[in-house]
Amino acid sequence: MHFNPYGGLAAELAVSLVNADPDQSPDELLALLRAHDYRHAGSFDAAGAAELMAWARRLEAVFAGTVDRVAALNELLAESSTQPYISVHDGREPHLHFAREEGPTVARVKAYTASGLAHAFCQDPDRVGRCDREGCGVVYVDTSRNGRRRFCSTRCSNRVHVSEHRRTRRNRTSA
């Protein structure tokens, strides 16, 4: 699946925020933003880090499907977006921004992740999900060719399939 560049990168950042340790320091969160090539990361304090992690919990509900996803995304977009505009910076081609570059980092990350997740969801709602392995809370955006991802990783997939195989063998031998 090919996401548009804005939506794909921003949706992947949303995934990383949701999957991040909720007790990360501001410096650790800034490193996470930079690892996702989030330009102009700026800075924020402990209150900003807490606000960003609270935002991640709200994004998580969309991945988990525990809420009306369209309504939740519309609420996140309404809360986070400012007037969209086309930006050209750092030698990049023209692209959309949903928050002013000079705005506070947390507000810009909120707008970026909400719009990116909305782009991914609108392309195919079934590609935004949470791992099917019981006990695993990792979320993902399925960018696979066939769009049938159910697990966050090969490791979780293998655990489930090995467990199913063992259960089937036990049932056959006890019958």
Q: What is the largest CA-CA distance in the chain?
A: 68
- Prediction pTM value: 0.85
The domain ranges of the chain are 5-124
Residues in the chain: 175
Question: Residue 45 burial by CB count (10 A; 0-12/13-18/19+): exposed, middle or buried?
Answer: exposed
The pLDDT mean for the chain works out to 88
Helical (H) or strand (E) element with 116: helix 105-123
133 pLDDT more than 60: yes
Which tens digits make up the pLDDT trace of 27-37?
A: 999 999 999 98
**Can you tell me the mean pLDDT for 59-64?**
96
Contact 119, 64 (CB under 8 A): no
Render 58-115 in DSSP notation, one character per residue. HHHHHHHT-S-HHHHHHHHHHHH----EEE--TTPPPEEESS-TTS-HHHHHHHHHHH
Amino acid at 49: A
Which tens digits make up the pLDDT trace of 63-110?
A: 999 999 999 999 999 999 777 888 888 788 898 888 888 888 999 999
Cα separation, 92 vs 47, in Å, equals 32
Amino acid at 91: G
Cα separation, 73 vs 40, in Å, equals 25
Q: Which is the CATH superfamily of the domain at 5-124?
A: Jann2411-like domain (1.10.3300.10)
Helical (H) or strand (E) element with 33: helix 26-35
Cα separation, 160 vs 47, in Å, equals 39
Which tens digits make up the pLDDT trace of 140-175?
A: 999 888 888 889 888 898 888 888 778 788 777 776
pLDDT above 70 as % of the chain = 95
Query: Helix axis angle, 46-64 relative to 69-80, nearest 10°?
Result: 150
